[in-house]
Structure 1
Amino acid sequence: MVDLKNRNVEISLHFLIWLALFFLPAAFSVGSDTDWIGLFRHFWLQLIFLAVVFYANYTYLVKHLFEDKKIGFFLVNLALILVLIFLKNQISDWLEPNRRRHLLKRPPAALFYFMDTLIYMIPVAFSIAINAGKKIQKAEEMKIEADNIKLQSELQHLKYQLQPHFFFNSLNNIYSLIDFAPDKAKQSIHSLSKLMRHLLYKTDVPAISLPEEVEFLNKYIELMSLRLTDHIKVYTNFPKSVPDMKIAPLLFISIVENAFKHGISATQHSDIHFKMEISENDIYFTASNSNFPKTDADKSGSGIGVENLKKRLHLLYPGKHEFHSCLNNDLYIAEIKITTDS
């Protein structure tokens, strides 16, 4: 459909250009004693033959001979041009029988053939330039398409990588509840099923609404909070009214998971803070937590979450995101800033 539309635009453009070229000589002759035969012989006949040379090259010769058979290309063009010059002279003689008599005092015919040949080479050069431009444009379009396919494949891979990571972390959380809080474990399984439904049906799109993403985060934080003891405090500060902005799904879950994984201790007081601020098209998300790094023997998570997030931000929001993380007074802080288009 797009190719047909482009083709129609191209035909219309060519038609308007040649219409203007044919109209101009007549327009300049308005108000004078116009000699239509002379106008045809001096201007329109030349334009017709220039058009023949142009379209012979534009539609066939440049595409089939110029790349591989350059000598043949120039020989065919030379033969075509000489035939057209001969025909033009024959038609001119037929339209103006006395023309030969006036030409006797003019320079040799070979010079006229040479000058006409140079003129007829102009549309040849134009057709070569246009076809070369089209080829470059097509190559660029193919490169862009290939880059898009690669980008989508990489994003899909990262998404598939993230979902099992999320699922395993949630299962670890539920597993820890089974022995000492079976009722909470049952509730966790029910909550996890809702979250997995969101993962299955709401994240297989380029973008979702920000309110849906915030709701998902709240449900996940509730799920993870079920196994926390009284000495662990979780604080959320999300906007009460979340604007209906579009955002790539699952952008914040990695640092939320990270905060629960590294921010709680079984024996020490622990704090986890989540904050989201929205300013026009900018979204700021901050997660800060007490820092209790896991040992190499701890297999509760695969450790791919934050790296996955960095790659996705780079692919989804090039030049429109910031990610910072630091350790400040035993408090780990991760910050994301995203500039959206809506």
Structure 2
Amino acid sequence: MAVFYIDYLWLTPRYFVTGHRTQFFVTNTFIVIVLGIALHLWMSLSHDMLGHNHREPPLILTIAFVIRDIVNLVIAAAIATLLHLALQWQTAEEARKEAELSNLRSQINPHFLLNTLNNIYALTAINTQKAQEAIQDLSKMLRHILYDYQRSEIELRDEVEFLKNYIRLMKLRQGPSVEVNTSFHITNEQQKVAPMIFISLVENAFKHGVKPAVPCTINITIQANDRQIVCDIVNSNHPKTSTDRSGHGVGLELVRRRLELAYKGRYEWTHGVNDNQKMYHSTITIKL
């Protein structure tokens, strides 16, 4: 116990972690040798104190006993050092993960705002009143970003309301040829979810699923219970041409990275076009 806690609380953080490996090994060697010899001396002394008939073993056997004790102490020191390093690595990994998530969130904000402002700009040329309504919806979404988005998790009902505002904004500028269907079935609205996980998928549906003067369909479904959250989006497939490089797929790549960081090993994401290349299907399933 002495060797374990000396290593765990003092030697490892003070010398090994800071790079002073020579001091670490020299001090450890000194401690285990001294305590290894002290254990043998204490054993002999305790036998004498208790009045046991104790005869000193041969020198070679004494050395073997001391080496045995030193090996045990070395094992205790090694376990203490490895445990300290493992816990330190876990703490550092959690800090790195949170920093990367924060960085990803800061990247999504301008990406999302840029797309939304472009939509409102286009809407001003079509219908001024609808553009004003769109600005009002945008203010609600900005409030969500400013006050909720900085947290690692928010209530699912707030995230769904955010998506509804965005979808309503997008529908304002769509013509009669675009059919948008939404379905939200949430059994536990207080269920937590990472913010703005699904918005890029919805953006992608409107971006690649709508073509002027062509019948288009966008179906957005979110189902959630105490076991899982499923976001399912099906849209007409009208991929952008090589000359239209707006976005460059940044949003979807950010979603993939955020899913990996926030729900590693607990999510499935399938996406792609159907056999006739007419519909694009994207589904995210998050296990709770």
Tell me the SS of whatever aligns to 1:272.
Answer: strand
Moved over 4 A (4+): 55-60, 62-66, 69-89, 113-123
2:16 aligns with none
1:68 to 13, 26, 41: 26
2:180 aligns with 234
2:217 aligns with 271
2:198 to 252, 277, 285: 252
1:332 aligns with 280
CA distance in 2, matches of 1:264, 1:185: 19
Identity score, percent: 32
User: 1:270–1:120: structure 2 CA closer, same or farther, 3 Å change rule?
Assistant: same
CA distance in 2, matches of 1:183, 1:71: 80
CA drift of 1:295 comes to 2.3
CA drift of 1:194 comes to 0.9
- Give the conservation status (yes or no) of the 8 Å contact 2:108–2:251: yes
CA distance in 1, matches of 2:264, 2:36: 52
- When you count helix as a share of all residues, which structure comes out higher? 1
Provide, for residues 172-207 of structure 1, a one-character-per-residue CA deviation record: whole Å limited to 9, x for no partner: 100101122111112111211110110111111111
CA distance in 2, matches of 1:79, 1:238: 72
Provide, for residues 76-113 of structure 1, a one-character-per-residue CA deviation record: whole Å limited to 9, x for no partner: 45764676577568x55xx86xx9xx88xx7xx562x6
Structure 2 matches for 1:280-299, cutoff 5 A?
Answer: 280-298=226-244
User: 1:256–1:131: structure 2 CA closer, same or farther, 3 Å change rule?
Assistant: same
What amino acid does structure 1 have at the position aligned with 2:191?
M
Provide, for residues 52-96 of structure 1, a one-character-per-residue CA deviation record: whole Å limited to 9, x for no partner: xxx489748x9598823787667645764676577568x55xx86
CA distance in 1, matches of 2:225, 2:4: 57
CA distance in 1, matches of 2:172, 2:212: 14
User: 1:118–1:66: structure 2 CA closer, same or farther, 3 Å change rule?
Assistant: farther
Say yes or no: does 1:213 pair with 2:213.
no
CA drift of 1:240 comes to 6.5
Tell me the SS of whatever aligns to 1:322.
Answer: strand
User: 1:86–1:225: structure 2 CA closer, same or farther, 3 Å change rule?
Assistant: closer
CA RMSD of aligned residues (A): 3.2
CA distance in 2, matches of 1:207, 1:58: 37
CA distance in 2, matches of 1:66, 1:306: 48
Q: Could you say which structure has the larger radius of gyration?
A: 1
- Give the conservation status (yes or no) of the 8 Å contact 1:57–1:124: no
Structure 2, gaps ≥5 residues long: 12-21
TM-score with structure 1 setting the length: 0.70
TM-score with structure 2 setting the length: 0.81
What amino acid does structure 2 have at the position aligned with 1:166?
F
CA drift of 1:322 comes to 1.0
Tell me the SS of whatever aligns to 2:185.
Answer: coil
- Give the conservation status (yes or no) of the 8 Å contact 1:275–1:287: yes
1:4 aligns with none
**Would you say how many aligned residue pairs link Structure 1 and Structure 2?**
274
Structure 1, gaps ≥5 residues long: 1-13, 15-54
CA distance in 1, matches of 2:208, 2:142: 23
2:112 aligns with 166
Provide, for residues 106-151 of structure 1, a one-character-per-residue CA deviation record: whole Å limited to 9, x for no partner: 7xx562x665565455554333222211100111112212221221
Deviates further, 197-206 or 74-83:
74-83
CA distance in 1, matches of 2:29, 2:187: 72
CA drift of 1:235 comes to 0.5
